Structure 1
Amino acid sequence: MFQAAFNFVCSWFLVPPWSLAGWFVTGCLVWVVNRFRYRWCQSQANMEGKTVVITGANKGIGLETARDLARRGATVIIACRSVIRGTAAKDDILVSGVRGKVEVAELDLSYMASVRKFARMLQGRKVDVLINNAAVADLPHQLTDEGLELTVATNHLGHFLLTHLLMPGLQAACGRVVTLSSVGHTWIKDAKDLDLENDLKFQYTRPLRTLEIYTATKLMNVLFTNELHRKLQGTGVTANCLHPGVVNTDIFNPMTSRVWYGIFIKIYVRFYAKSIAEGAQTSILLAASETLEKVSGKYFDNCKEAECSSLARDEGLAKKLWEISERLVQLQPEEQTI
């Protein structure tokens, strides 16, 4: 009996043409099961009169989040590197029919000068929600003209500075800070992998591991959120972070260019990953839900509270990262709003 079952499984997955049918059927079953497993934001909150800033909202999860919140009546500010692509995203949102307004502003998170310029444009405006959404992954290691590692600057330092600069507007609105992290933060098991002693530059003599800097920045996102929550207690501003899930966005493009695992990534994303609309649901929930108005310092996954790693809960590590980040972005006395 065991041998017959073993032979059947082998023929189903390993022997052509049955193997093709086996993998196809299995992939379809995984896709169907995931459609039932993934949760959707159930909040019907009205966002009229509220202003939402979303970084990287010209595509992917950010664009879908912007679309949903604009439908609810919010004024959504798309903050992205390319005004041309941002304008195209704005037109796409408006064509779908929304009650709110959509604005576009240039923001390159990898350059702190650009972050400061963007913040000056919003000076004096209330900000009800700041969604730190933009991220890059698996880029070649390089330093910016400001001496910051590119992925670290984009995924962590730019958002760190932006949150400081927009804090007066957030405090005026008793607003929310929502930061997108990743389950990848749990892959970091040792604080040394954050390279705090070398100013987050990751200039090792050894080769960098695949996604090493990306997963380190995702841990930085959770540490930042937890420390931000502690510093904001009593101000009325909340801070939460989330794992959007494995989402079929172009963040995987650099990875699929690698022959040795590119095919696997493409297949994995195709059958396992969430759609962009599904991936945006937790961001939408944290930005809009009335039931989460006072909730702060939490990590969410699949539209519910989840557990972050023990390293992400290390208060001493969070404080040290905060202090280093203040120095690297050259935070000025007038910018110390938190």
Structure 2
Amino acid sequence: MNWTAADVPDQSGRTIVITGANSGIGLEATRELARNGATVIMACRSVDRGEAAARDVREDVPDADLRVEACDLASLDSIRAFADRLGDEPIDGLVNNAGVMAIPRSETDDGFEMQFGVNHLGHFALTGLVLENLLGDDGDRESRIVTVSSRMHERGEIDFDDLHGERSYDGWNAYAQSKLANVLFAYELERRLRAADVNALSVAVHPGYASTNLQFRGPEQRGQRVRKAIMTVMNAVLAQSTEQGALPTLYAASAPDVEGGAYYGPGGVLNMRGAPERQLSSDRSHDRESARRLWRVSRDLTGVEYDLPKPTIDEATV
């Protein structure tokens, strides 16, 4: 398969929410979905940066139908306010894209370790709060929830005894844990959607090694100028473009042959670059007991309930 952005099908009539839409993969996904007729709600921590990104998209796509909304994944109050502003507006897709990577330990407004809080808990809460918007009453309208993970999930472990790194913290281990949580969540959500027999899919994706601003946040926050310089060189020499890195997300959000409970990423060298394809995620990502436990913990921490049944053993095939 040599799928590119030129293969994105017509998105006219679809409304898609993308978190972190003001930069990187979120911005490129916004650009291409809008180019193909989608209404994109750009859910951004900074409205000013979101509006600047929207202007950038409109330079390429003058008739782009974009709406910038404040949504800070590090604040449950902000997430709830965003969902409240949506009201009962139908949406056809949610791309859980925003994230932070390998930063010094800090906490969200609600006291969660920042990477686990933003990358996983924030998206768990957001998805649950807009689930009715996604499912709606139209049985003919398929909705999709795309959760952006990373190949780093392969080294991740969920430390249920120290989820927030209060006893021991390593920035990369915390990132890997949050990215494993993304895949566990995407699969468990698919199982519950299937048990509810609704017309919706949940999938996970990873971008490979794409050149974005994400790699620089940790070194910048630590004042590591040498590390930042090394990352700059690595991005220039080894990374694929942001546009290429966005392809798995675009594919999962739009391609007609996408399957629920699947994991998509670039199919080139070491699965770090190239056209999107279906791939295998880590053994840990298929641990159903860990997925169910993570779901319960996430519900308790965020206070967000999903109106979905738990899957039976026969249905838990993802």
TM-score (norm 2): 0.87
Cα distance in 1 for partners of 2:62, 2:176 equals 35
Shift of 1:41: 4.3
Contact conserved, 1:58 with 1:80, CA < 8 A, in 2?
yes
After TM superposition, the structure 1 = structure 2 runs for residues 5-16 of structure 1, keeping only pairs within 5 Å, are none
Q: Distance in 1 between matches of 2:21 and 2:289?
A: 33
- Displacement, 1:211? 1.1
Which residues of 2 match residues 162-311 of structure 1 at below 5 A?
162-172=126-136, 173-188=141-156, 193-198=157-162, 200-204=163-167, 206=168, 208-233=169-194, 234-257=197-220, 258=224, 261-292=227-258, 295-302=259-266, 303-311=276-284
Unaligned 5+ runs, structure 1 = 1-36
Instruction: State the 1:271 CA deviation.
Output: 0.9
Q: Does 1:336 align with 2:306?
A: yes
Q: Report the equivalent of 1:86.
A: 50
Question: Post-superposition shift, 1:263?
Answer: 4.1
Residue type matched to 1:80 in 2? C
For 1:184, give the aligned amino acid.
M
Q: Partner of 1:105: helix, strand, or coil?
A: strand
Distance 2:216 2:227 in 1: 12
Aligned pair in 2 of structure 1 residues 91, 308: CA closer, same or farther (>3 Å)?
Answer: same
The residue aligned with 1:60 is: 24
Deviation for aligned residue 1:269: 1.6
C-alpha distance 87-287 of structure 1, shift in aligned 2 (>3 A): same
Task: Output the amino acid matched with 2:43.
Answer: A
> What is the aligned partner in structure 2 of residue 118 from structure 1?
82
Partner amino acid for 1:227? E
The alpha-carbon distance between structure 1 residues 88 and 262, as it changes in their structure 2 partners (threshold 3 A), is closer
Q: Secondary structure at the match of 2:161?
A: helix
Tell whether 2:70 aligns with 1:106: yes
Structure 1 position 150, deviation (Å): 1.4
- The answer (yes or no) to whether the contact 1:242–1:301 under 8 Å persists in 2 is yes
Q: What's the CA shift for 1:139?
A: 1.6
Is the 1:143–1:150 Cα contact (8 Å) retained in structure 2? Answer: yes
1:311-330 paired onto structure 2 within 5 Å: 311-330=284-303
The structure whose Rg is larger is 1
- Residue 174 of structure 1 and its aligned partner are, at CA, apart by 2.7
Specify the alignment match of 1:4 in structure 2.
Answer: none
Query: Larger deviation: 89-98 or 249-258?
Result: 249-258
Asked whether the equivalents of residues 41 and 282 of structure 1 are also in contact (C-alpha less than 8 Å), the reply is no
Q: Which amino acid aligns with 2:242?
A: I
Distance, in Å, in 1 between the alignment partners of 2:49 and 2:8 is 29
Task: Tell me the SS of whatever aligns to 1:277.
Answer: helix
What are the Cα deviations for residues 123-175 of structure 1, in whole angstroms up to 9, with x where unaligned? 21111110000000122112233221111111000100111111111112430
Query: What TM-score do you get using the length of structure 1 for normalisation?
Result: 0.82
Contact 1:53–1:131 at 8 Å: present in 2 too? yes
Contact 1:130 1:178 in 2 (8 A): yes
CA distance in 2, matches of 1:111, 1:299: 28
Contact 1:243/1:301, CA 8 A, preserved across alignment: yes
Contact kept in structure 2, 1:57 and 1:134, CA below 8 Å: yes
Confirm or deny: 8 A CA contact 2:103 2:171 kept in the other structure: no
- Give me the whole-angstrom Cα distance separating, in 2, the residues matched to 1:179 and 1:101: 23
Structure 1 residues 38 and 203: CA distance shift in structure 2, 3 A? farther
Task: For residue 324 of structure 1, give the secondary structure of its aligned residue in structure 2.
Answer: helix
- The Cα of 1:255 is off from its aligned counterpart by 4.2
8 A contact 1:48–1:100 mirrored in 2: no
Aligned to 1:140: 104
Query: CA separation in 1, counterparts of 2:89 and 2:178?
Result: 29
Report the Cα distance in structure 2 between the residues aligned to 1:210 and 1:325, rounded to whole angstroms.
21
| Equivalent AA in structure 2 for residue 56 of structure 1 | G
Structure 2 portions without partners, runs of 5+? 267-275, 309-318
Which amino acid in the other structure matches residue 252 of structure 1? Q
Residue deviations 1:199-243 (CA, integer Å, cap 9, x gap)? x21112x4x334111111000000000100000001111000111
**Closer/same/farther in 2, CA of residues 157 and 129 from structure 1, 3 Å limit:** same
Once residues 86 and 212 of structure 2 are traced to their aligned partners in structure 1, the CA distance between those partners, rounded to angstroms, is: 29
1:99 to 1:286, Cα distance in 2 relative to 1, 3 A: farther
